[in-house]
Structure 1
């Protein structure tokens, strides 16, 4: 049977507050984001691995706080002044990317100080703690390492199957419950792997005109995460 050309026509993922799946893996971090008045000096670091929900939570928080969102690697000492509103809010994403980039490090350092002077809330997201960013600016490193952190843990027994259901739904697919249960029991608790796996299942299901079954899921899981030998 001829394979059908698979085009990525998926709709954007649902990223409202109601669409965020809260379990023990992320409940504490979400509670911290919901109480910015309690952030020490109005600053918070949101730390979590790929696919943990950082972008989702940052987007919800930015919408509710009317905050501007920018990528850390774009920061410079020159543009920091423009980004920090008086008494407002700002989100900096993917902060781990600035490590070893002098201009970006200086930009975040300047922005950090401006946020305090202007009484602006500052939310910074990253995949790892600041000690692992490779920062070369000592003053910036010391400030970040002493800042409050909200940690997004690896998915627990409740989160992983719920995320799989949501990832399929984002692609307008409904995987059979037995496929979700089978994957949740056998795959690593890795949300980035879950995202890649669902995308692969979607492509193969369309291209090969195959139903979403445990056999298909197993084939693609083996390709994306082969068992140790």
Structure 2
């Protein structure tokens, strides 16, 4: 289960924070580290601060975008010190987030995403997440170092996994009942926007209709079967459009 829980670091500036984050992960049994466009990597400083977790640093995958890092994940939680303008579902308490993340990780990959040291995740990156989480801290000084934030949330995840009672075992859900991956959701939203445009539903080029609908479906959290049903509905509607507009 813990092997299905991925830590994603986006554009890390200091390579030492990569090593320190790997150390934080290893103490909590997490092994899947993905780096999105790190400023310097590989780097001796990352290995030095890993302090026993060098194997995680060596195995870390480097990718070109956050979308690529989380494409196969069914739940993606963005760690943010403050709420952004996009009203994604938000976990007020990290332990509630951890319990839900562990539940999904029983059968599918999930991810915890951490942004840049100086300004965190952008709104576009938050849009690639399904949920947000913040770490409660002193309102007068709530600044955590990147690796500290990884340690806190990794601890919550490990605790949720450790406290999961044996009697709470559930058989693996059938594929159609599982949450869709981010890639499947992206295909659905592309399909929806295409149908809205060619049908004439989107008439104002600067309207935020597509973003509002993305937020709606993020709250609804449809299963793979439900998403397939929606794709079928869109395909049926497309069949009634003029041949050149499909």
TM-score by length of 2: 0.24
